[in-house]
Amino acid sequence: MKNFEIPTYYKSSFISTIKELRKINDLRKKDFTPTILDFGSVQFLIARHFGFCYGVENAIEKAYKAIEENPKRNIYLLSQMIHNPTVNDDLRKKGVRFIMDTKGNQIVNWSELTNEDIIIIPAFGTTLEIEDKIKSIGLSTKEYNTTCPFVEKVWKESDKLGANNFTTIIHGKHNHEETRATFSHSNSSGPSLIIKDINEAKILEDIILGKINKEEFNVVFKDRYSKDIDIIKHLDKIGVVNQTTMLATETQEIADFLKKTMIKKHGLENYKNHFSDTRDTLCYATNDNQQATIGLLKESADLAIVVGGYNSSNTSHIVELCEGKLPTFFINSALEIENNEIINHFDYHNKRKTTSTNYLPKNKDVTRIVLTSGASCPDIIVDEVLDRILEFYPNTTPKEKVLSDLN
């Protein structure tokens, strides 16, 4: 796999070394057991896979290359490069201006841009409509296009579905940049519909089987389907793709369910003419991180700390997995940890910050903490969180010794 040139201040001599050791000892990525860092009175359970993925490192490399190669030109980013505040704030400090927020609201008017400027397409990609707008200004969308290759793979699959008269069902969050981009691309090839979960897949089954009419469909899926979709004609042949940061297991559950729906309607001998198997579009990095989290949770622990941007979809799904087993605290940096009694964290269910007390167990010989992060979180931030927690445990084993014990 390619080694990307990313700023050294995003790397960690400790966490990055642990990840490299695991990679060397598990080249085929078959071992999802965690790394256990034993500091004596506290142990950290580190996931086999976490942090920057291929698509994120590719985006960061290209963004910083744009800054380096164009010192005297205005540089614009369509929206957040990735969903991590540290990375986005650093780009702003280096003079990069963001044209839109994550919801697509305009921050910089298009009239301010000229054909002498540089524009960066973020890792999530963008819509065909915005691409056309950029080209109309006379700007290129190719030189610093950081769209994740796995997102582009989903677009190619949706193009194929449309070309074969299948409707694309997109498993995703309709207001997420990536899903908006995927819908735009798939909609240009054929009818498309966004669904958020298995419950909506069950509603979709009732529509496919004729139990729900067009009016009810319009209410449930408002603003999430192609303008001229015909629920009788266009939902007779479907294929499922996903927002790459969604839980792969949920996407597969939805696909398996809708496959059975087509078997109900058309019979086992005919369903392949009505349902397209698209499982190879699932992002391997997202899937690896999720499988590593599942492997992590097979070990006993007292709590979990998940680090990442609060608007990061893939991080929220890791939080969701951890919450199923442990008290879980979703933080974006070590600054959220006030002391050994108080931690500020994010309640992603209600989309708000909250504070918890007594989050660390008392009177235990050894406290065990799950520590992991989302795909857009730099290793150095995870390292800083680990260091902050270690401050509350006196006489712990030095990090150098813990690291040498892993070799």
What span, in angstroms and rounded, lies between the C-alpha atoms of 159 and 106? Answer: 29
Structure token digits, residue 196: 């958020």
Query: Active site includes 69?
Result: no
Cβ-contact 372, 318 below 8 angstroms: yes
Catalytic pick among 57, 157, 178, 200: 178
Cβ-contact 327, 303 below 8 angstroms: yes
Outline where 149-228 has alpha helix (H): 149-163, 177-189, 198-208, 214-220
What span, in angstroms and rounded, lies between the C-alpha atoms of 216 and 212? Answer: 6
Cβ-contact 48, 23 below 8 angstroms: no
238 DSSP 8-state letter: E
Structure token digits, residue 45: 């359970």
Cβ-contact 43, 369 below 8 angstroms: yes
What span, in angstroms and rounded, lies between the C-alpha atoms of 235 and 192? Answer: 10
- 3-class SS of residue 54: helix
Half-sphere exposure of 263 toward its Cβ, with a 13 Å CA cutoff?
Answer: 8
352 DSSP 8-state letter: E
The residue length of the chain stands at: 407
Question: Which of the residues are catalytic?
Answer: 178
